[in-house]
A and B are shown apart, each in its own frame.
Chain A
Amino acid sequence: MKMRWSAWVLAVFLFCGFLLPLFLKGDPREPVAAPFSKPVWADRTQAPAMSLTVPTGEAGKTFSWSWEAPRGLSVTGEVLFAKTPSKAALIWETPAGAKWVLSDLSGQNRWTLDLDARDMAFRISLGLSPFDESLRGLFDKHGMIRVRIESDVPVERSSLLVKIPGERWGLFGTDQRGRDVFLLFLYGIRVSLFVGILAVLVSSLIGLDAGLVAGYVGGAADTFLMRTVDVLLSVPLLPVLMVLAALWGKGLWQLVLILGLFSWMGTARTVRSMALSFREAPYVEGLRALGAPTFYILARHGIPTVLPLLLANIALGVPGVILSEAALAYLGLSDPRVISWGRMLHEAQSFGAFTTGAWWLLLPPGLGIALLCLAFMDLGRALEEWADPRLKGGRA
């Protein structure tokens, strides 16, 4: 059999969801950059995140600047002079030639700096407006910027670090708390796959049993089970799930159980119709005539008969469950500590993705869900064709 595209997609998702996080450093829950940073590839006029060490020498650190003025800047670290300087300062030279004193370092031979452009005092000391967000005075035009320590005594040691959080970060940018969306996306794969596959396994197990009993045993059991299916199909699913999720708890296992309990109806119907024809098959009638117990017939012959189609059903059932899980999480009915794609969309909506136009918070989780669902549907089709070769080509 030719490898379907869906198989590749699933393989990539499995790799990204379960193996890749092992090699990537960093906790997805920790902020890594400024909130709402765009992806690095998105807007080239915005500054990327930077961090520069300021060396001890007179020349200092020179770097080229070719973006718009950023909103954030911080300087942290220690400076140790050989002896107490009478006159020393941390100097910022802009491309236009202006000279700013970021911090006065005179009168003390050891300095610990912790400057941040968000501090009002620091802004005012630089002559910047406390209301204008961007640091236009320090980044007055494109060109070379120099940061150096100017003093009348030699600098013995410096661990000064200039950090510009930038407006662009990582593959998918950052969210409202400055967390890496790419990492969140990777961790979200796990939840979708875990909930999707386990819940469908639960529902298939229920559907298989119900369908076999209804179709093979028939009678009152059939009537009861099919009535139950009718009832479950005519109740609005999402509100039921919402109420159950809110009351039962929002953990992943509860979610698996709830989703499994409410999505076995289709499988039951399919299995039932197969069991009906299975019951009439000559070799099954023969087995019955020989006095084989019902359980034996079903376990030994019934399940293998329905298994191929059941597998297809499992694959085709995953998208529905993934979508339900995402919907619940999107509505805020999921554990806030668990990272999932639905939760990412929920946070995007709640924390102003629309008022800031943060499209990079929407597209990765949304397209991830869609791609995963499409892949499972394609896989299901392939399994269906494998189970019933007549379908090949017949379906467009």
Chain B
Amino acid sequence: MRPVKRYWTRRLGGAACVVAIVLVANFFLFRLMPGDPVATVLDPRFSPEAKAQLEALYGLDQPLGVQFLLYLRRMATFDFGLSFSTQRPVLEEILERLPNTLALLVPAYLLSVLLGTVLGVIAARRRGHLAEKAVLAAGAVSFSFPSFFVQMVLLLLFAYVFPVFPLRGSLSIPPPEGTWRILADRIWHLALPVFSLVLLGFGGWALTVRNLVVKVMGEDFMILARAKGIGERRLLWGHALRAALPPLLTLFLLSLPGVVSGAVLTETVFSLHGVGRFLLDSVLGQDYPAAGGAFYLLTLITVGSNLLADFLVQLADPRIKTGGEESR
């Protein structure tokens, strides 16, 4: 089982590398850039003593090396300090928003992958038919239309012209009474963002699935599978899609970092109370602890999902186990 070990050494090493680089970059980017972080929260009329006190609070009076070590310890324990703007612990702020972001992203990406896969396989089978043309068009749209523009148009259509969905927010103000009502209200607020992400996401996914399945359909083993008389359904889903699964998972893995970008933009368009929007507000407000913490956590989540997807690729592709060809 040596090849499996090597595969994982490589993957884990890569993940550790990403985290290390992000940690270092985070530290230096937020510290060495022009502008005095304390100055941004301080009224210039503050006394020098108050300023020094504040610098000590954020550990900014120590030498850089000590600062870095302190910083590493804090990152390891997810202690990102207090947000400049709200004076609350950054971790608390992020954890408060994380469920909203997950409630947006998880259903959206599951649905678009599901829809994209089904449509992609159908398009691959019915080459030249309407299904294939639709998939090609949807793919072109998702690669060339700015996502936030499509979302803005949807918002204008379904929240202004036909006011079916709310214009902004994750929850009505004031929130309704009762658990079920709150849940329904949240779903009502999330429906349009999720729908828009599915609309934007499924086309590219369907196009990928279609291309891979078309390629697999041309392979020799598909002739044997067809000769076995196992029926079109097994042929497509059991053989063609199954054989295309490892590269599909690899592509899914590569698309994960983009999911985070999608969260930032979507939460901005629909004014959702999520981590992406939090990152944007901190960046715009030069709230360094908050921006650094949110960025670091988002990277950790991406790297973690990457490893999970790697594990799935390994499960799906027997060739990795015995050191056949690497799928990536």
Which of A's residues lie within 8 Å of B, judged by CB? 227, 230-231, 233-240, 242-244, 246-248, 319, 323, 326-327, 330-333, 342, 345, 348-349, 353-355, 357, 359, 362-363, 365-366, 369-370, 373-374, 377, 396
A-B contact pairs, 10 of them (CB 8 A): A234-B257, A234-B303, A235-B18, A236-B302, A237-B258, A331-B264, A349-B269, A353-B152, A354-B156, A370-B144
Bound-complex Cα distance A235 to B302 (A): 7
B126 at interface (Cβ–Cβ under 8 A)?
A: no
B132 at interface (Cβ–Cβ under 8 A)?
A: yes
- Tell me whether B14 and A231 are in contact (CB under 8 A): yes
Q: Which 9 A-B pairs have the closest CB atoms?
A: A238-B261, A366-B149, A236-B260, A373-B144, A236-B257, A247-B33, A370-B145, A246-B283, A374-B144
B167 at interface (Cβ–Cβ under 8 A)?
A: yes
Which of B's residues lie within 8 Å of A, judged by CB? 14-15, 17-18, 21-22, 29-30, 33, 127-128, 132, 136, 140-141, 143-150, 152-153, 155-156, 159-161, 167, 254, 256-261, 264-265, 268-269, 279-280, 283-284, 286, 291, 294-295, 298-299, 302-303, 306
Q: How far is the CB of B258 from chain A (nearest CB, A)?
A: 7
Q: How far is the CB of A229 from chain B (nearest CB, A)?
A: 11
Q: Which residue of A lies closest to B128 (CB)?
A: A396
- Tell me whether B264 and A396 are in contact (CB under 8 A): no
The one of B14, B127, B283 in contact with A227, judged by C-beta atoms closer than 8 angstroms, is B14
Q: Which residue of A lies closest to B254 (CB)?
A: A233
Q: How far is the CB of B193 from chain A (nearest CB, A)?
A: 14
A247 partner residues in chain B, CB cutoff 8 A: 29-30, 33
B260 partner residues in chain A, CB cutoff 8 A: 236, 238-239
The one of B136, B286, B291 in contact with A396, judged by C-beta atoms closer than 8 angstroms, is B136
- Tell me whether A234 and B18 are in contact (CB under 8 A): yes
- Tell me whether A355 and B167 are in contact (CB under 8 A): yes
The one of A234, A362, A369 in contact with B302, judged by C-beta atoms closer than 8 angstroms, is A234
- Tell me whether B299 and A362 are in contact (CB under 8 A): no
Q: Which residue of B lies closest to A376 (CB)?
A: B144
Bound-complex Cα distance A234 to B167 (A): 33
- Tell me whether B265 and A236 are in contact (CB under 8 A): no
- Tell me whether A354 and B136 are in contact (CB under 8 A): no
- Tell me whether A362 and B295 are in contact (CB under 8 A): no
- Tell me whether B265 and A238 are in contact (CB under 8 A): yes
- Tell me whether A239 and B279 are in contact (CB under 8 A): yes
B261 partner residues in chain A, CB cutoff 8 A: 236-239, 327
- Tell me whether B257 and A237 are in contact (CB under 8 A): yes
- Tell me whether B143 and A243 are in contact (CB under 8 A): no
Q: Which residue of A lies closest to B26 (CB)?
A: A243
